[in-house]
Amino acid sequence: MLIRHVIVYLFARGLPGIVNFLALVVYTRLLTHEDFGRYSLVIAGIGLAHVVVFQWLLLVCGRFLPAYPDQPQTVLRPVLAIFLCLSAIFALVAYGVASIWVPPGWHDIIPVAIILTIVQAWHELNLRLATAQLNPAHYGILSAIKAVLALLLGGLLAWVYQSANAPLIGLILGAIVAWLVAGRSTWSGIHPRLPTREQFKEFGGYGFPLAITFSLVWITSSSDRLMIAWFLGEAQTGIYAVGYDMAQQSLGLLLTIINTAAMPLAIKALEKEGIEAAGQQMRQNGELMFALAFSGAAGLIAIEPVMIGLFVGEEFREGASTVFMWIALTAAIIGIKSFHFDIAFHLTRQSKWLLITSGLAAAANLGLNLVFVPHFGIAGAAWSALLAYSVAAVSSAIIGFQVFPMPRILPLLGRGFVPAVGVYWSAWFCMQMNIAPVFKMMLSIMVAGGVAAMIFLILDLAGMRQLANQYRYRLFKNLFKR
């Protein structure tokens, strides 16, 4: 079941992920250091607003909707009412703050950023709804339309105007068109209704600690860009963002796809069959998460020289290469922490524990950035992120074992390390060949992917061997019929 869902979501999120990766390639060639730095700072600011104001509501929708499969309006009506209230409050507060103080050169960007924050939150809510309803096709259509239009329109505007606003406007238009084409029917007959006292208590008890938690997560994941802008300038922020986003939008996307498929299965197992079934599902989820996190980081590190040269604008390459390896390792740790260890708190609805793990990471990241960035530049920011997320992952694992019967860590580490070694050395070997860079990278990915798949089958990760035998049986059965 897990592998099937992963394959479906790989296609559903794969195209948008590729388009978002291409956006990085396009914008590093059309925007200046300063404009790309401002764009990355806006995205970081939108991320803060999203996690503080909206993210908890998305998780409430994803966690409580499976409990009402025959009456989704029980959850959707109060969720819609809360979303509208949050959007109105956020817009008023944001415009009020912007009217009092706006940094020089940001007057045209702030209004666009406020609109994008609300539009993006609505888009993410619709994606969360599709995930909770185990509807990857709807998820893929919404994501693909938004990603393709955002790149086409944002790239066109960047080519004409060369402004930091160009990609932001592209994102707004892409999300709006995606919802008009593929999202309106989901909300047909759903009218906003304020939550009952019991719902508000239940939603708030689960969601409000998450709002604080995600604020701390933002500090860990995005405050480094603000630190770099403060100490080193917006141009260095843009260079750092390229290396960071390239690693996150490749490995981070892959791990997010795994979680998009895996977490609903764990919730469903818990709701329908109980703790033991959920624990077994978490073991399968963990095997796949550890294996792909380690293997993905190893593969990225092996192909980094060619990857940076092919996809990053010349002015950004040296700085992006400086941080890429460290951020690839960080992306692996983020995935394991967020999409495996933290799931224990979501399954038990004990999100308060995330405050401790995220608080430790945020404090570590802020302190390390204050020391490292002035002395070591953008490399120091990358080291800070790696150390901070390592602290968060360890604390999340220790506490998670106390609230839910999570699978043992050592077997998961072993099953992650073995394919990672195979992936790294197979990719490294291909990189030594004297062929064109683009073919060198393609060959490395194919060979390393084949080695990983073979090791996954030998180790029977996440029940992959059983799935392969089923497909082989169907294939022979069809051939025999012919």
Q: Over the stretch 57-106, which tens digit does the pLDDT of each residue have?
A: 888 887 787 777 677 788 888 889 999 999 999 999 998 888 887 777 67
Q: What is the mean pLDDT of the chain?
A: 85
Phi-psi region of 156 (alpha: psi -120 to 50; beta: other; left: phi over 0): alpha
Q: Provide mean pLDDT across the span 315-320.
A: 85
pLDDT of 38 strictly over 90: no
pLDDT at 115: 95
pLDDT at 2: 60
Question: Identity (one letter) of the amino acid at 60?
Answer: V
**pLDDT band of 125, cuts 50, 70, 90:** very high
pLDDT at 475: 43
Q: What digits encode the pLDDT tens for the residues 228-273?
A: 988 888 788 888 888 888 888 788 888 888 887 788 788 888 888 8
38, two tokens:
């401002």
pLDDT of 209 strictly over 50: yes
Longest pairwise C-alpha distance within the chain: 75
Q: pTM for the complete prediction?
A: 0.72
pLDDT of 121 strictly over 90: yes
Long-range contacts of 147-150 (CB under 8 A, 24+ apart): 147/15, 147/16, 147/17, 147/19, 147/20, 147/174, 148/15, 148/16, 148/19, 148/174, 149/173, 149/174, 149/177, 149/178, 150/19, 150/23, 150/174, 150/175
pLDDT at 273: 82
pLDDT at 331: 92
pLDDT of 149 strictly over 90: yes
Q: How far apart are CA 373 and CA 376, in angstroms?
A: 5
Side-chain half-sphere exposure of 266, counting CA atoms within 13 A: 30
pLDDT of 394 strictly over 80: yes
69, two tokens:
């499969």
pLDDT of 480 strictly over 50: no
pLDDT at 150: 93
Q: What digits encode the pLDDT tens for the residues 177-204?
A: 999 998 888 888 888 888 888 888 888 7
Task: Determine contact, residues 164/241, Cβ cutoff 8 Å.
Answer: no
Of residues 147 and 11, more confidence is placed in 147
pLDDT of 388 strictly over 60: yes
Of residues 210 and 374, more confidence is placed in 374
291, two tokens:
């294996």
DSSP assignment of 147-165 equals HHHHHHHHHHHHHHH--TH
Contact residues for 285 (Cβ-Cβ < 8 A; gap 6+): 2, 258, 262, 263, 265, 266, 340, 343, 462
Of 39-48, 220-229, 306-315, 334-343, give the range with the top mean pLDDT. Answer: 334-343
**pLDDT band of 358, cuts 50, 70, 90:** confident
pLDDT at 431: 92
pLDDT of 473 strictly over 50: no
pLDDT at 91: 93
pLDDT of 275 strictly over 80: yes
pLDDT at 12: 61
Percent of the chain's residues with pLDDT above 70: 92
